[in-house]
Amino acid sequence: MAAVASWTRVDTHLIKLDQDHPGFRDPAYRVRRDAIAQLALAHRRGEPPPQVAYDADEQRVWSDVLDALAPLHAHYACKSFLAGWPKLGFVGGRIPQLSEVSARLKELTGFTYEPVAGLMSPREFMDRLADRTFLATQYMRHPSAPLYTPEPDVIHELVGHAPSLSDERYARINALFGEASAIADEATIEKLIRTYWFCLEFGLVREGAAVKAVGAGLLSSFGELGRFEQESTLLPFDLEHIAQTPFDPTQYQRLLFVAPSEDMLLTSLTGWLEHLGARGGQRPAPPSV
Active site members: 156, 161, 201, 220
Q: For residue 228, which amino acid is it?
A: F
Distances (CA, A) of 84 to 35, 89, 108, 167, 275: 31, 10, 10, 7, 28
Do 276 and 178 contact (CB within 8 A), yes or no? Answer: no
Do 128 and 68 contact (CB within 8 A), yes or no? Answer: no
Question: Which residue in 264, 219, 212 sits closest to 237, CA to CA?
Answer: 264
Measure CA of the first residue to CA of the last residue in the chain; give whole Å.
67
HSE (CB half, 13 Å, CA atoms) of 47?
Answer: 11
